[in-house]
Chain A
Amino acid sequence: MIAFERFGKRFGAQVAVEALSLRVGTGEVFALLGPNGSGKTTSLKAAAGLIAPTSGAVLLGEPPRPAVDPAARDVCSFLPQKVSFPDALTGLEVVHFYARLRGAPRSRARDVLEFTALNGAGARAVGTYSGGMIQRLGLAVASIPGAAVLLLDEPTASLDPVGLQAFHVLVEQHRRDGRTVFFTSHQLDDVERLADRIAILVEGRLIATFTRTELTGQLADRGVMRLVLGRRPADLAERLTALAPRATLEGDELVVPGPASRRPGVIAGLQDLGVDIRSLTAEEGRLDAFYRELIGDPP
């Protein structure tokens, strides 16, 4: 549905994206993560046909066509990071305009305004809207065509709680309908909650991609169990090598990294060794910590 084929983009001497190869399939909710300036927005804009590749290609739809071809963009709808509209138009006029542009029925305008909780403000000029309302209006416009591909650049960055809820509903609707959502974000909660697959860009290069299952596994591996021990055998440290090779013992505290599934076995093993466990805490791996680890940013 979206294919980056060794996509590269330079702005003068600056390399924004280098040889990005990535496929986003039909019905996938795909998140693109990365620090500022990593090439996320450039890649998304290339998929929206706003940026022409310096090398490689970005293709949309079935059969695949270059995203810079206006006809290819029939299948997609794009919401920029900081959307804006003419102040003098009303919300309803804006939505009507884009509905007509996309060949959508007039009734669709009312539907999307209602969906983004702007139906009460539809008759007001956009110039009187708050920042959150403008972003919601952008979401309304992006959802007009019911496009097969939804491209969203940091959609939740400026959304108010009402808009955030509308965004989540929109993504879930697309997932249910088998349509594709490709979005960039710094909001790791949204990514973890919504994305079926995640790709991470650093300095214009793709450094990792994960499915939701793979990500869950990676986060589980980064879980930690902490036990405060009482009475224990003198050679516990040596015996731990067999029981939990990555565990470390510091004073009375035993730290056992690894997924939750392994923890009962470790606890049973410790009890078999005659260890007195006074207290136990466990925490799961967090996406933000994992993300920082991947991009080489220490916590």
Chain B
Amino acid sequence: MATPGRLATIGLFASQELTLAVRSRWTAIFAVVFAALALAVGGSGYILTGGLGLQDFARTASSLVQVVLLLVPLTALLIGVQALATERGAAELLFAQPVARGTVVVGKLLGLFQALAAAQAIGFGAAGLVIFSQAGQEGAGGFAVLVAGSLALTAIFLGLAAFIAAGNVGRRARALALALVTWFVAVVLFDIAALGVASLLRSGHASRLLVAAVLLNPVDAVRTGTLLGIEGDAAFGAASLAFFRIAGGRTWAASALLLSVAVWSVAPVALAIWRLRRADL
């Protein structure tokens, strides 16, 4: 019997993971909550304009950034760890097959990414349709940047979930706890800590710290990049503004942010594969 090639095997794992994610109540809950929040944020523009109409795509996208930054990393980490930190018996059966461990990881991640992207598409699509019907297509480019940012966060935090799961085969509860800690550090604690430390430093050092913070934390990189794409530096916080000034322009800032996002998308997956290859199961 001829075993399938590497690409076909990746496709097989992706397809199975997509099936599992579609049948998972967690994916369904995420899709519903995300759609509800997107519609609520989109609809809030109607109230803010005094009932005259919805805000356009760009303003809605700005309002949705915070929802995406909070919800997408959390969901990607939890659903990713839930799927990848399988029970020991399942992992042993799977990894005893004549398939490289990296192939399994990449295939599963692809399937999970497809499932979460589809869940987000429901939310973005619903909000987009409502806005388009009421406010036209003005600012649709900014909305597309937000969707891209959301997908980037999904990829990055699925990679981090893979890294956590690779060190916790058969220990799902521990992996889930680590996923929550990772989310808290990346989304909540990191910015507070960076700003706190920066406030104790002299101006030059503080700026450099804040610039580093934007590039080192994927949430900050995506936030800065998305806001930059939607409405320039108008909505920037202290760290993003410091980064934008030092980058010396939109092109350099966007390039540095894209590089940061690319590294964050690839490095955790590569480390997860490396970790899993060395692991005794």
Whether chains A and B associate is: yes
A81 on interface, CB distance cutoff 8 Å: yes
Cα separation A86 to B17 with both chains bound (whole Å): 10
Q: Answer whether A78 and B20 are a contact pair too, CB < 8 Å, given A70-B100, A101-B99.
A: no
Cα separation A84 to B267 with both chains bound (whole Å): 30
B16 on interface, CB distance cutoff 8 Å: yes
Q: Is there contact, CB below 8 Å, between A50 and B92?
A: yes
Which of B35-43, B71-79, B82-90 has 4 or more CB atoms under 8 Å from chain A?
Answer: B82-90
Q: Which of A51, A72, A84, A101 contacts B3 (CB 8 A)?
A: A101
- Residues in B neighbouring A76, C-beta threshold 8 A: 96
- Residues in B neighbouring A49, C-beta threshold 8 A: 95-96
Beta-carbon nearest neighbor of A72 in chain B? B98
> In angstroms, how far is the closest chain B Cβ from the Cβ of A170?
16
Could you say which of B1, B12, B23, B100 has the most chain A C-beta atoms within 10 Å of its C-beta? B1
Interface size, B (range): 20 to 34
- Residues in B neighbouring A93, C-beta threshold 8 A: 19
Q: Answer whether A82 and B280 are a contact pair too, CB < 8 Å, given A89-B19, A97-B12, A101-B3.
A: no
Cα separation A84 to B3 with both chains bound (whole Å): 23
A249 on interface, CB distance cutoff 8 Å: no
B255 on interface, CB distance cutoff 8 Å: no
A71 on interface, CB distance cutoff 8 Å: yes
Count of A-B residue pairs with CB < 8 Å: 88
Beta-carbon nearest neighbor of A151 in chain B? B96
- Residues in B neighbouring A102, C-beta threshold 8 A: 1, 3, 97-98
- Residues in A neighbouring B280, C-beta threshold 8 A: 11, 45, 50-52
Give per-residue flags for B49-91: 1 if the beta carbon is below 8 A from chain A beta carbons, else 0. Answer: 0000000000000000000000000000000000000111110
A277 on interface, CB distance cutoff 8 Å: no
Beta-carbon nearest neighbor of A67 in chain B? B96
- Residues in A neighbouring B100, C-beta threshold 8 A: 70
A191 on interface, CB distance cutoff 8 Å: no
Cα separation A83 to B92 with both chains bound (whole Å): 8
> In angstroms, how far is the closest chain A Cβ from the Cβ of B190?
33
Q: Answer whether A82 and B3 are a contact pair too, CB < 8 Å, given A51-B280, A73-B98, A88-B20.
A: no
A146 on interface, CB distance cutoff 8 Å: yes
Q: Is there contact, CB below 8 Å, between B96 and A48?
A: yes
Within 8 A of B (CB), among A81-110: 81-86, 88-89, 93, 97-98, 100-104
> In angstroms, how far is the closest chain A Cβ from the Cβ of B265?
25
B234 on interface, CB distance cutoff 8 Å: no
Q: Is there contact, CB below 8 Å, between A71 and B98?
A: yes
Beta-carbon nearest neighbor of A125 in chain B? B23
Known pairs A70-B101, A79-B93 / 7 extra A-B pairs, C-beta < 8 Å: A50-B92, A50-B280, A52-B278, A76-B96, A88-B20, A88-B24, A101-B99
Chain B interface residues (CB < 8 Å from chain A):
1-4, 9, 12, 16, 19-20, 23-24, 86-90, 92-93, 95-101, 278, 280-281
Q: Sample 18 A-B pairs with CB under 8 A, ordered by A number.
A: A48-B96, A50-B92, A50-B95, A50-B280, A50-B281, A70-B99, A70-B101, A72-B98, A80-B88, A80-B89, A80-B92, A83-B89, A84-B87, A85-B90, A97-B16, A101-B4, A102-B1, A146-B1
